[in-house]
Amino acid sequence: MLYRSLNKKSDPVNFEKAIKLGLASDGGLFFPTTISPIKKDFIDKIEDYSNIEIAYQVLKQFVGNTISELDLKNIIESTIDFDFPLVKLEDNIFSLELYHGPTLAFKDVGARFMANCLGYFNKNRSKLTTVLVATSGDTGAAVANGFLDVKGTKVVILYPKNKVSEIQERQLTTNKKNITALRINGSFDDCQKMVKKAFVDKELNNQFNLTSANSINVARWLPQSLYYFYAYKKLKSKNLVFSVPSGNFGNICAGIVARELGLPIKHFIASTNVNDTIPRYFKNGVFKANKTIQTISNAMDVSNPSNFVRILEIFKDFDNLRKNMSSYSFNDVETLDLIKKVYDSKGYVLDPHGAVGLLGLNKYLKINSKNIGIFLETAHPIKFSDNVEKCLKIKLDTPERINKILSKEKEFIEIDNYDNFKNTLLNFR
């Protein structure tokens, strides 16, 4: 398996090189040169296989010969040691809970897989790899947990000041060891711009082995396709649609890859908050990113989603895109109203991101009622306890793993601009 740049100005590379580079030398995102469907018989009998066996079948072609079969299976076993419950809310509506990993967010699978792969590639190397990650909350926490004490790595997390929840910030800033947190005076998009600029900065690349742990990195992005296989394993419906709370669009893009691998998914819904670049694109065919707006679903506060270019690469043209995917946006009032409605009627607690996913699913199913819908619950509600508890007038139980970090002191470096960020990195030498 080789990976080519979507900017089409650099040579293809293998999986190991793609992980270590993060972005291609021309600044483009890596994309597989081919995606070969899994054997139909395997998908037809998917309920006969364990989650580990499914993961191996899904991921082996993307890894190629860079990792042996035995080592890849060991990496997968270290990555996936928790469940992905599917909760029925209506006869045709299910919640896929992706927050049962160590940091209570869906990013855990991709972060752990990438960390394990990079640790494998670095095991006989003495040179340090510096992992850069921009986060709107959950990505940084998952990456910090996955890479903590991984040999040969230093992780630098960029997160926007006053735009992540208190629990998320503590997950980002209380790790120490090989993890450093940078608090950026700006938005997530500003954090992401700094990371991308670093990869084309010759001085930084001469000094460091840089890679990214955002979903721009293939090792972070591709494992998210497993969620869709695990959901299908439990339902096996031919009229299956997925609604995905979407910010940087890595998760929904991974779902589209799952369909390219042969999974019979009928339709995708990209549900966003008021940062509605993609819903507007679906209406008029014009990609125009507005200024990022802060919302209660902060992981989706993204106006220029990096992974959308990968989605366009898969669907090729606008008509094909609109045939297979829809996109809707919702505001905070609608989000909180649905959180309360679902709790009052079902006793089920949504987080703001999952609520946006369900809003999108409900809108789609109103005119496509014969389908079975799954929305992704991407983070534990406790991470957004201020808004959720106020909305529902209840006190959420705090998981023990969260209690452990509440008393720890936060440590971070304030960053105002790219020059400040660059100089901070250079001082790490």
The C-alpha atoms of residue 241 and residue 423 are separated, in whole angstroms, by: 47
pLDDT one-digit tens code per residue, 294-344? 999 999 999 999 999 999 999 999 999 999 999 999 999 999 999 999 999
pLDDT one-digit tens code per residue, 9-29? 999 999 999 999 999 999 999
The C-alpha atoms of residue 213 and residue 278 are separated, in whole angstroms, by: 23
pLDDT one-digit tens code per residue, 129-168? 899 999 887 888 999 999 998 888 999 999 999 999 899 9
Q: How many CB atoms lie within 10 A of CB 191?
A: 27
- 107 given a catalytic annotation: yes
Q: How far is CA 11 from CA 76, 217, 264, in A?
A: 29, 17, 33
User: For residue 189, which of 282, 70, 303, 93 has the smallest C-alpha distance?
Assistant: 303
Fill in the DSSP letter of residue 216: T
Sort strands 93-97 and 86-90 into parallel, antiparallel or unpaired: antiparallel
Mean pLDDT of the chain: 94
At 256, list the tokens. 């589209």
Q: How far is CA 184 from CA 63, 140, 227, in A?
A: 34, 13, 31
Catalytic residue, candidates 39, 45, 107, 238: 107
Mean local confidence (pLDDT), 87-102: 97
In which band, very low, low, confident or very high, does the pLDDT at 170 lie, cut at 50, 70 and 90?
very high
Q: Where are the domains of the chain?
A: 82-104+222-392
- Domain 82-104+222-392 sits in CATH at 3.40.50.1100
At 327, list the tokens. 């996109």
Tell me if residue 247 falls in helix, strand or coil.
Answer: coil
At 154, list the tokens. 């230093």
